[in-house]
Each structure stands twice: as C-alpha cells, then as structure tokens.
C-alpha cells in the first residue's frame, strides 16, 4: 500500500507498510551498553527499546546515573551499543546521524565568538554563504527573544540567554530531530518556562521531533506527548505514559493548569521511587 500519513511519513512500497515503518525517525530495539571500569564490566543500559515518531516530543526521566546520557550518546553515534539496533529513518546507525541536532546540558558556547557568531558556526562549517548564515542566525536569535543581543559575547549574557543562544545554534541548522540532554536544568523557573514554550513551538510548528532527557517531572509532562520512565542501572523502560492534556501543547503554564497534569506527575514520581536521604 502506498500512503502519506501526516504529510510526512511516506510509504512508496507495497510490502505491507514496510516503508512506513522505515520512515519513523528513530527506532531503538533492545539496546544494551556497558562500560569497562578497572577491568570490570559495568552494565549501564540493560535492555532498552523506544520509538520517536514524526512531530513527536518524547521525554525520558530516570534516576540519576541510570544511563540517560549514555543512551543519548549512543543514539548520536558517539558510543557504540553492545547489543541491539538503532535505526534513523529506517537505516541502521552508521556514525553520526544526519539532520539530528544534539544539545548538552552545558551550553558550550565559544567565548571568543559573539552570540551571532556562535549561532552561525554550524552553517559556516557546512559552507552556507556568509550573508545567508548571518540572516538565518539573526532570525533565529530574534525568534528566541534575543533581538539586539547578536553582537554580545557569551560572558556578557545571563545563563538563560546563553542557553537560548545554544538552542538557536542547534535549531538554526533546521534539524529534523533534536536530542536534548537536560538543556534547561540550570535555569530559574521563569526562564525555564519561557524556553520550554519556545522549544515546544519551534518543534511543533516546524514538524520536528524531540527526545528530551530531564530530571524535572513537570517539564517532562508539560512538554511531551509521551514520557518514558527508566529504571535504575542497568536501565530498562519501567513505565510509559501517553500524555493527553487536552490543550494547546505550546503553553507550558496552561499545561500545568490542565486537569490531569498533576495525576501524571504523581504517577511518574511514584514510579521513580525517589527515596529522601
Ligand atoms: N565513560 C565512562 N566510563 C565508565 N563509566 C561511565 C562512563 N560514563 C558514565 N559512566 C557511568 O555510567 C553510569 C551512567 O552514566 P550516565 O551519565 O549515562 O547517567 P545519567 O542517567 O545521565 O546520570 P545523570 O542523571 O546524573 O545525568 C554512571 O554510573 C556513570 O558513572
Ligand atoms: Mg546525564
């Protein structure tokens, strides 16, 4: 059967939807990963499977040290899994996947480049003409509320602003998929809400997909279509929640005000089984 789903997933083959499955941005099947420490094998990812679909936001929460960063690094091709399969758009991972933006918790801006210079970096490396890179960089900074700050160096920006510049640098390359590892963890509540809303808008309106790792259960629920709760190390999926809040999913305050929001937060909190020390 041939079909177009959501205008994005294209099946051009008659083999029972095989291509439809193939076009899913990210499929992870039974991935395992361990580290070797002082000659000892330490299993970190036990057995993990997940799917990230088109225009979907998936949040991953899990206890500290359970292997979330290890998972993201594996999905980016920076680490090789011991077992299992990772497929980007139906193709087994080979090196760093194309069209995937990765942003770490630390903003890692280059201090000797201005905000605009940092945002333009990826475009310059890809050989985009300087004038086009500048225009796109300015437009992205404006979109993230940084109009007038293009010429500022990172040292003269607040933490929230630096985080926005880092996000602009990731988004200006127009990646189809974003992988974010605790990108907003260091921000105060107000800034966090603003940047979460901007991120949700840019992802949802741009038809992108986002895999977000976070410690913040409220952030996970307010942003995502699905929340995956991981177990302790060696980690596996402990629970999956499809988040239905019945509201516009780009307004983080409205998400928090919605009827079922705290129900999800409480359930995930219980799953995480956090023990106060
Ligand atoms: N390069 C490495 N070599 C050996 N062990 C490592 C390495 N990187 C991480 N680990 C160990 O693997 C486990 C998982 O680390 P990872 O950073 O993936 O966890 P995490 O879930 O991201 O933690 P956090 O929530 O604190 O960010 C930890 O026990 C960590 O000490
Ligand atoms: Mg981590």
DSSP string, 26-84: EEEEEEEEEEEETTEEEEEEEEEEEEE-TT-EEEEE--TTSSHHHHHHHHTTSS--SEE
Q: Is the CB of 277 under 6 A from ligand 1?
A: no
* pLDDT given for residue 148 in this prediction: 93
Architecture of domain 46-99+177-276: 3-Layer(aba) Sandwich (3.40)
The protein residues having their C-beta less than 5 angstroms from ligand 2 (an ion) are 68-69
* Cβ of 228 below 6 Å from ligand 1: no
Assess whether the C-beta atom of 37 lies below 6 angstroms from ligand 1.
yes
Is any ligand 1 atom within 6 A of the Cβ of residue 68?
yes
- Tell me, what's the pLDDT at 104? 74
Tokens (6 digits) for 234: 């060696």
Distance between CA 256 and CA 259 in Å, rounded?
A: 8
What pLDDT is stored for residue 126 in this prediction? 87
Tell me the β-bridge partners of 5.
9
User: Using alpha carbons only, what angle is made at residue 88 by residues 86 and 93, rounded to the nearest 5 degrees?
Assistant: 50
Q: Return the structure tokens found at 252.
A: 């983080």
Measuring from atom 1 of ligand 1, which residue has the nearest CA?
A: 35
pTM of the model: 0.87
Q: What is the pLDDT along the chain (277 residues), one digit of tens a residue?
A: 333 323 333 333 334 444 544 489 999 999 999 999 999 999 999 999 999 999 999 999 999 999 999 999 999 998 999 999 999 999 999 888 888 998 876 778 999 999 999 999 989 988 999 999 999 999 999 988 899 999 999 999 988 889 889 989 998 998 999 999 998 887 788 888 888 998 899 899 989 999 999 999 999 999 999 999 999 999 999 999 999 998 888 889 899 999 999 999 999 999 997 655 4
pLDDT at residue number 276 = 52
Ligand nearest to the CA of 65: 1
Residue of the CA atom closest to atom 7 of ligand 1: 35
Sign of CA dihedral 253, 255, 261, 265: negative
């Amino acid at each position: 059967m041939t079909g177009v789903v959501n205008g994005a997933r294209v099946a051009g083959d008659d083999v029972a939807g095989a291509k439809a499955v193939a076009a899913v941005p990210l499929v992870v099947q039974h991935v395992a990963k361990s580290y070797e420490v002082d000659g000892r094998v330490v299993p970190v990812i036990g057995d993990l499977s997940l799917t990230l679909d088109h225009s979907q936001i998936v949040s991953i929460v899990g206890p500290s040290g359970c292997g979330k960063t290890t998972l993201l690094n594996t999905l980016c091709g920076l680490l090789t899994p011991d077992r299992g399969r990772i497929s980007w758009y139906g193709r087994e991972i080979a090196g760093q996947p194309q069209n995937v933006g990765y942003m770490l918790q630390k903003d890692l801006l280059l201090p000797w480049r201005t905000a605009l210079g940092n945002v333009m970096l990826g475009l310059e490396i890809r050989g985009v003409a300087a004038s086009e890179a500048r225009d796109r960089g300015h437009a992205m900074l404006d979109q993230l509320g940084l109009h007038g700050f293009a010429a500022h160096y990172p040292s003269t920006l607040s933490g929230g602003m630096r985080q926005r510049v880092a996000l602009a640098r990731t988004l200006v390359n127009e990646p189809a998929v974003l992988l974010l590892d605790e990108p907003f963890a260091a921000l105060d509540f107000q800034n966090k809400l603003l940047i979460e809303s901007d991120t949700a808008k840019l992802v949802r309106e741009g038809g992108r997909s986002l895999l977000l790792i976070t410690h913040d259960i409220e952030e996970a629920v307010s942003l995502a279509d699905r929340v995956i709760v991981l177990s302790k190390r060696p980690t596996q999926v402990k629970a999956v929640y499809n988040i239905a809040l019945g509201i516009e999913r780009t307004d983080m305050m409205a998400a928090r005000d919605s009827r079922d929001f705290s129900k999800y937060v409480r359930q995930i909190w219980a799953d995480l089984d956090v023990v106060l020390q």
